[in-house]
Structure 1
Amino acid sequence: MRRLTLLALPLLFAAGPLNAQTSSETTTAMPTSQLHYPETRRGDVVDDYFGTKVADPYRWLENDVREDKEVADWVAAENKVTDAYLATLPGRDIFAKRLRALMDYERFGIPTEKGGHYFYQHNSGLQNQAELFVRDSLNGEGRVLLNPNDWSADGATALAEWVPSEDGKYLLYAVQDGGTDWRMVKVLNVATGQQLSDELQWVKFSDFSWAKDGSGFYYSRFPEPASGEKFQATNENQTVYFHKLGTDQAADRLVYKTPDHPKYGHSAQVTDDGKWLVIITSEGTDNRYAVTVKDLTKADAKPRTIVAKLENQWSPIGNVGSTFYFDTNKDAPRGRIVTLDVAAADPMATMKEIVPQSDATLDSASMTGGRIFASYLVDAKTQVRRYAPDGKSLGMVELPGIGTAAGFGGDADSDETFFAFTSFATPTTIYRYDINSGEATAWAKPQVDFDPDQYEVKQRFYTSKDGTRVPMFIVHKKGISEPAPTLLYGYGGFNIPLTPAFSSTRLAWMEQGGVLAVANLRGGGEYGKAWHDAGRLHNKQNVFDDFIAAGEDLIAQGVTTKDKLAIQGGSNGGLLIGAVTNQRPDLFAAALPAVGVMDMLRFDKFTAGRYWVDDYGYPEKKEDFDVLYSYSPYHNIHSGKDYPAILASTADTDDRVVPGHTFKYTAALQHADIGDKPHLVTIETRAGHGSGKPTDKIIEEYSNLWAFAAYWTGMNVHMPE
């Protein structure tokens, strides 16, 4: 139950045929001398931070594009210039054709079993949105419950979270429109397919958990924003409610709130035995939680806080009566599993270690079928260990190879669980795991015309500026000529690890002879709390140093050259790309910052931004301001230096990292004297921070990105036979 409010951009897992290259496209890119950026009004806003005068000439671009005509006109003008340039890039049509082919295969999600029914998502290949299916037996024929492709003409309305009731009779589901983080919550009768009258609004960053009798469910929501502030107002005063089926949202019962702490967020889950409600409270993005429980067997029971201080991670993974199992980093920076007796007068005094900290990093854990499944990261690769409830080791889950596994959920009395496995050269496959026998069998394996033997995956460790050893995955077709056009990807924040995963979009780059490099920077979650702490707050420069060192290592090893190195990152990774481009513009040929946090002095003024102070610090504190101002991408563009080609991207409905960040950054780039390479932005409509994006928009987006990067790294794009 980890509350992550700033996430790496999702990668679409898909693949396709790889064949010999033949003829190339012969179009020529528009000369940069013909690029004429729109005129962007410069205002006279100047802020005083502790005696430092900071100009913000593009403050007006923070305004909502839906509400401000001047911003809307600027967006249209920028898109017109960018679209005209992208249309001339050689290779764009080839990438578009290849992406359509590579993404055209069946994809399945991990199933959830309730009441003998198996619920799962499925995309036949090029559907804009995956459908939700149900089977009445494990291997029975599936039938469609929800088809989001019918919800909007442009395919930009998506199915988000969904949870079946305990008996499988009802399905709670959330609708995400145009990429926003806001959810509309509805309920479906599984047998008839009919939608109930229930409809909930103003839900965001919420867990959903049914009462075991199916009478209703627990969820979290925010107050309704003021008119015109839906996509920009900060998110505060999240409250837990119980919704009874068949009633209006206005009648929902308040369960838990903290009005004295408006920045606290709350998630609620009912235990498998239905006897307890567990409420996890957090304030930012750090895994620092308070824990509150409510005895559901007593009508008059009040919520009782058993862990009051927001100091450590406390992720509940199961219970036996009043004995609760937690994944925690208390006195264990790499994680361990402990129990607490929540019925005791002092639950913390009853803490007992079940699974001690190990050399690997505990990433997640679950209790299913009377077993503990503990997922560890070993040098950014998954290892799953099994334990009895008393902590006795039951050995490893044998995975199909070196890669990333996720899942292992299910009920306490289940005899099966499911997990997904993927790697850079392994399309995502769903496995059923027999808990008693320990046997894993493929439940849904994609039939992809793809030969993984044509690709090589390596992991190497390089040395960062301060001597720290940092891991990096390097993936490419066997037999490529070096140095080759290379895409270096990074994130480095919020305790989020980058692990091996299959991606059709990346495959389209690699099949042209390009190299993919993924650097596991400090600030991520690859090596526990110490690794995260080493890349946040006043240590944030370490992340940029790690990424710069990754680029230098790729060049030193002969993998690529400065003229063939492109860099990419999204969200916090967009900040990364903006910062390192300012610090080392000589090192890269092309930069692709997506939905980035570009103004480090005002990030906390909008939507979810106020959560991020855990990783970034507080702009209104002098010691934090000094650090933030030193690397803020918007404030550190250096005129007089030649910058790489830059294609930034954002979306009008991004209410996670509001598009004003990228708008202001782009305007500052285009105003500065930073050379004659293009410095452009694409601004998608009816899209958000990444989740819920329809397939056709993904194809268009990556056709543009790869064509841009290919041109500026000298890649000769060919259509495979």
Structure 2
Amino acid sequence: MSNLVNKLSFTMKTNLLLGCLLASLQGLAQPAPLPATPQRPVTDTYFGKTVVDNYRWLEDMNSDETKAWFKAQGDYTTATLDRIPGRDKLIQTFVDYDKRLAVRYGEIKRRGDTYFYRKTLPSEQAGKLYMRQGKTGPETLLFDPSTYEKGKTYMMTAFNPSSDGKKLIVGLQEGGAELSTIRTMDVPTKSGTPPAFRPESITAVFGGEVSWLPDNSGFLYTPNNSMDTKDPQGNLNTKGRLHKLGTAPATDPELFSIAKNPDFGIQPDQYPVMFYSDDQTQVYGYLGTVDRRATAWVAPASEVGKPTIAWKRLCTVTDSVNSFLKLGNRLFVQSVKGAPNGQILVTDANNPNVATATVLLPESKLNITRMASSKDFLFVILSDGINEKIRQFDSRTNQWADVPMPGTGTMGIEFYEAPRSNEVLVYSTSWNDPGTLYDYNPETRKLTTSTFHVPINYPGVADLVVEEVELPSHDGTMVPLSIVYKKGLKRDGSAACLMSGYGAYGISGTPYFSRRNLALLNMGVVLAETHPRGGSEKGQAWYKAGYKTTKPNTWKDFIASGEYLIKNGYTSAGKLIGMGTSAGGVLIGRAITERPDLFAAAISNVSCSNALRMENSPNGPINAAEFGTVKDSTECMALYEMDAFQHVKEGTNYPAVLCVGGMNDPRVIAWQPGKLAAALQAASTSGRPVLMQVNYDNGHFTEDKQVTFRNFANMFAFGLWQAGHPDFQPVGVAKK
């Protein structure tokens, strides 16, 4: 077909789509119409397979034309969403629920008798950094990110007090970018002394995480090469560095990198990260990738600062080590080698050998999800696929015991001051339980409600019903599904349902309590959390069954979950909203391209939507370990299969779709969901809207409550509008 015919056909379909959308909002003030998106076909051949990309030009995020396209799409979407009744009321509900929690504490860390913590009040958009002497002493404000720089919005990504409690590292981000600027300060020793940052600052540290030197004179860190989240070279060939307080960051020596360690086989897309053991007697060199199997080296802490560190290999991918930690003279290893549900091994920390390590906790029916330690105890969290339990191991007596946690759901464990104390913070949360924060003494196995626990009473929680079921997928495999709804639900298919899924990186959909979800539940919406293959709900085998060439199981499990909900009357196809975020973009994108008839609406949030081109984005190369690479013939075809953008077909009745992209997103660049939106706008003949929400004040996510509330209210309102929820319907106007 000639380019002229292509252009005319595209323009006609675009006008039809826009006409239908505008008709659905008749009677309201109309936003300016969207301009047509030009199609400029680029043809690629992958191992004999020809693939056409009509919107490659959108990948140039620095071009004025691309910027104008995103601006027009974002403005049109904002104008449309602003006209949905119920959206602003939903935002207000989020605010009202937030006010019910008088204060929120987080990341509580003790140094001696000084407690450092993040604290957020309902009136504040983000947390501030405080300290207090003793658990109940008067508190001192150390840092308020809202006052850091006039005219700009900053958040605190992380904070890390030195082991003596005299210094602090603070990570700052702007606009949800996650690439942080590191600042340091001296902790005031006198009441009323205003804290102030030291002169030096270090930019482009992902998440703001660093590791203090044992003598607190500096820290180890690995910066990106650029603060620009769109820089294709920003996170390639990064270097682990050493910073000494009071010195110029530009002179920080390189300790761990491709150039420094040419025999280690470090790849350009791997992050060479250094960190100390909890007792700071050893330093580890770790290659940060999305592969759950660790590649790491170990050396005595005294080696740091020498011209060359005498590294010794600790583990490689073939050892299938998910994590490790040092406790006393032993190194505890979480391994899945020959044990898909996981096992705990132990070896000599001073001369570690994973191959000859002893089995401390053998594999069982429960899946080992993570481990952590205090001064004398190892803690292991195990899961039955949905609900977790915690076991503790006394390193002095070699005895195992269960931590007596009340309730079911997701279990959390944190430490005030590992490895100097056995004082532990534990908590549990579930779909219908906001949770309780406990101080736990592993010596006596006693739980007491923590000073930092703030009681809360949300409306409607007592009326929530939770069902954990299993259903057959396309191949007969039984797949878990969590269903939450308000008591009294009529199983006649009349309820709107928000069904979410992820299914990647071995991350499981563990139970959690969400005030945003509660707002929907109290409006009669059914919530369903899917547990597709690609997570770790049923161990390593479950993860590998939704990985690279087996990735179709992920979206097929999601589809099967939707079919179950419809068949059993929880909802119907005209009421079902599917949602996938980040890597869950593969799940939602392929679900709607394979079964467009199953959904009323879909939310593709900061989504991986164009898998074949992910390696051409700044964060793409490191993710090849999870999804595959176009350089391998088998993996390339798997990438094509999981590419939602490439599976959009002209003349298809697609559901309503809201794509969301963050302009400061360092994980999924905005052209990934943007290209999917462009393709769907051109191809869909259903008359349902396809919108592209563009967040200029957000990245992959943000702590900023105002931005977060608006973002989620937009997504939920769009879905409920299309699902026919009465609170979100313009008067006398159809939803399509």
What is the TM-score when the length of structure 2 is the normalising length? Answer: 0.88
Structure 2 residue 269 is matched with structure 1 residue 269: no
Structure 2 residue 426 is matched with structure 1 residue 440: no
- In structure 2, what is the equivalent of residue 714 of structure 1? 724
Query: SS of the counterpart of 1:221?
Result: coil
1:293 aligned to 285, 289, 298, which one? 298
Structure 2 residue 451 is matched with structure 1 residue 427: no
Percent identity reads 28
Deviation at 1:714, TM superposition (A): 1.7
Query: SS of the counterpart of 1:586?
Result: helix
- CA deviations on 1:333-385 (whole Å, 9 max, x unpaired) are 222222222433x7345522222222111111112130111111222222101
1:222/1:189 CA distance change after superposition, 3 Å: same
What is the rounded CA distance, in whole Å, between the counterparts of 2:47 and 2:663 in structure 1?
33
Superposed, which structure 2 residues align to 1:307-706 within 5 Å?
307-311=314-318, 312-321=320-329, 323-344=330-351, 347-348=353-354, 350-389=356-395, 392-409=398-415, 410-443=417-450, 444-482=453-491, 483=493, 484-690=495-701, 692-706=702-716
Superposed, which structure 2 residues align to 1:214-229 within 5 Å?
214-224=216-226
Higher relative contact order (CA 8 A, sep 6+): 1
1:117/1:275 CA distance change after superposition, 3 Å: same
Gaps of at least 5 residues in structure 2 are 1-22, 730-736
1:62 aligned to 53, 59, 66, which one? 59
Q: Is this contact kept in 2: 1:234–1:605, CA < 8 A? A: no
Deviation at 1:267, TM superposition (A): 2.5
Q: Is this contact kept in 2: 1:292–1:303, CA < 8 A? A: no
Structure 2 residue 55 is matched with structure 1 residue 45: no
1:623/1:230 CA distance change after superposition, 3 Å: closer
What is the rounded CA distance, in whole Å, between the counterparts of 2:278 and 2:296 in structure 1?
17
What is the rounded CA distance, in whole Å, between the counterparts of 2:119 and 2:152 in structure 1?
16
- In structure 2, what is the equivalent of residue 174 of structure 1? 171
Q: Is this contact kept in 2: 1:48–1:54, CA < 8 A? A: yes
Query: SS of the counterpart of 1:563?
Result: coil
What is the rounded CA distance, in whole Å, between the counterparts of 2:552 and 2:474 in structure 1?
10
Query: SS of the counterpart of 1:548?
Result: helix
Q: Is this contact kept in 2: 1:575–1:598, CA < 8 A? A: yes
What is the rounded CA distance, in whole Å, between the counterparts of 1:677 and 1:374 in structure 2?
48
1:393/1:590 CA distance change after superposition, 3 Å: farther
CA RMSD of aligned residues (A): 2.4
Q: Is this contact kept in 1: 2:277–2:325, CA < 8 A? A: no
1:718/1:635 CA distance change after superposition, 3 Å: closer
Deviation at 1:205, TM superposition (A): 5.9
1:325/1:219 CA distance change after superposition, 3 Å: same
What is the rounded CA distance, in whole Å, between the counterparts of 1:342 and 1:421 in structure 2?
32
What is the rounded CA distance, in whole Å, between the counterparts of 2:479 and 2:399 in structure 1?
31
Deviation at 1:231, TM superposition (A): 4.0
- In structure 2, what is the equivalent of residue 86 of structure 1? 81
1:449/1:48 CA distance change after superposition, 3 Å: closer
Letter in 2 for 1:364: R
What is the TM-score when the length of structure 1 is the normalising length? Answer: 0.90
Deviation at 1:309, TM superposition (A): 2.8
Query: SS of the counterpart of 1:111?
Result: strand
Query: SS of the counterpart of 1:447?
Result: coil
1:273/1:603 CA distance change after superposition, 3 Å: same
- In structure 1, what is the equivalent of residue 66 of structure 2? 71
Query: SS of the counterpart of 2:619?
Result: helix
Query: SS of the counterpart of 2:622?
Result: helix
Letter in 1 for 2:597: D
Range with greater deviation from structure 2 (632-641 or 400-409):
400-409
Range with greater deviation from structure 2 (629-638 or 327-336):
327-336
Q: Is this contact kept in 1: 2:128–2:143, CA < 8 A? A: yes
Q: Is this contact kept in 1: 2:697–2:707, CA < 8 A? A: no
Q: Is this contact kept in 1: 2:118–2:130, CA < 8 A? A: yes
Structure 2 residue 122 is matched with structure 1 residue 139: no
1:382/1:142 CA distance change after superposition, 3 Å: farther
Letter in 2 for 1:519: T
Deviation at 1:633, TM superposition (A): 0.9
Query: SS of the counterpart of 2:240?
Result: strand
What is the rounded CA distance, in whole Å, between the counterparts of 2:198 and 2:457 in structure 1?
39
Gaps of at least 5 residues in structure 1 are 1-27
What is the rounded CA distance, in whole Å, between the counterparts of 1:648 and 1:710 in structure 2?
15
What is the rounded CA distance, in whole Å, between the counterparts of 1:532 and 1:251 in structure 2?
43
1:717/1:393 CA distance change after superposition, 3 Å: farther
Structure 2 residue 237 is matched with structure 1 residue 242: no
Q: Is this contact kept in 2: 1:166–1:214, CA < 8 A? A: yes
Q: Is this contact kept in 2: 1:61–1:71, CA < 8 A? A: yes
- In structure 2, what is the equivalent of residue 98 of structure 1? 93
Aligned length: 684
Query: SS of the counterpart of 1:662?
Result: helix
Q: Is this contact kept in 1: 2:171–2:208, CA < 8 A? A: no
- CA deviations on 1:663-690 (whole Å, 9 max, x unpaired) are 1111111111432000111101121011
- In structure 2, what is the equivalent of residue 24 of structure 1? none
What is the rounded CA distance, in whole Å, between the counterparts of 2:363 and 2:369 in structure 1?
12
- CA deviations on 1:499-556 (whole Å, 9 max, x unpaired) are 1111111111111000100011110122221110000111000001100000000011
Q: Is this contact kept in 2: 1:424–1:475, CA < 8 A? A: yes
Query: SS of the counterpart of 1:554?
Result: helix
